[in-house]
A and B are shown apart, each in its own frame.
Chain A
Amino acid sequence: GAGVSQSPRYKVAKRGQDVALRCDPISGHVSLFWYQQALGQGPEFLTYFQNEAQLDKSGLPSDRFFAERPEGSVSTLKIQRTQQEDSAVYLCASSSGTGIHTQYFGPGTRLTVL
């Protein structure tokens, strides 16, 4: 079946622009996660949804970062007034539950801020 998809795969933004990154999870998966992966580093947690509820946003680096999942399916990560330090790969993952359930990752969106 279809896996997690993300769009766009690549995004170049000028500093100060707003960007929106989309994640389509595996159908029926209630849990959705966003991670940020800087060059040469492991992914770092940003935020977590269970259905439409954002249960943990402790990893969002600043109030310029905002995520939503209004209908409990597709999610959008929005970054306002992008800065160069926002350049990274943004990974989305979904799972059918919590606990031992495997998180399945999408291919990521590579954001470059000039």
Chain B
Amino acid sequence: AQSVTQLGSHVSVSEGALVLLRCNYSSSVPPYLFWYVQYPNQGLQLLLKYTSAATLVKGINGFEAEFKKSETSFHLTKPSAHMSDAAEYFCAVRPTGANSKLTFGKGITLSVRP
């Protein structure tokens, strides 16, 4: 069975600082990996996804993530945080076969201080 671990439940950064949100996965074969963002009272919006092409994936709003097979990680980064980045972020994994269900981590709340 696949699983996702997002260490910590809350990250706080200053505006303009580096954002680093960690995600580690467990899977017998390299899966597809996703980062979603959720703003209050809204559904999840896809930030970026890894589908076995380039290991460095660029997404929307200046976010990017790097797939590292040796570390089973898919950490999300953004060089400079903006106030509008405050939200909850979910890492998710999906097998590469026909089964398409997503398995999500518990999520990390990002706060951005002025």
- Residue A4 is within 8 A (CB to CB) of chain B in the complex: yes
Please state if A4 and B101 are interface contacts (CB–CB under 8 Å): no
B49 at the interface (CB under 8 A from A): yes
Q: Which of chain A's residues have a CB closer than 8 A to the CB of B92?
A: 42
Contact of B100 (CB < 8 Å), options: A4, A35, A99 = A99
Query: Is A108's beta carbon under 8 Å from chain B?
Result: yes
Cβ 8 A contact of A56, one of B45, B101, B102, B106 = B101
Tell me if A's interface is mostly helix, strand, loop or mixed.
loop
Chain A 74-104 per-residue mask, 1 if CB under 8 angstroms from chain B, else 0? 0000000000000000010101001111111
Least distance between B65 CB and chain A CB atoms (Å)? 15
Tell yes or no: B41 within 8 A of A by CB: yes
Q: Which A residue's beta carbon lies closest to that of B100? A: A98
**Binary CB contact string for chain B from 43 to 57 against chain A (1 if under 8 A, 0 otherwise):** 111100101000000
The interface size bin for chain A is 20 to 34
Indicate if the CB atoms of B104 and A42 lie closer than 8 Å: yes
Given A91-B43, A106-B43, verify A98-B102 contact (CB < 8 Å).
no
Whether B104 contacts A33 by the Cβ 8 Å rule is no
- B84 interface residue per 8 A CB criterion: no
Q: B residues bordering A, Cβ < 8 Å?
A: 4, 9, 32, 36, 41-46, 49, 51, 90, 92, 96, 98-107
The 10 closest A-B pairs by CB, nearest first: A42-B104, A105-B43, A45-B101, A105-B44, A100-B51, A98-B100, A107-B43, A42-B107, A42-B106, A43-B104
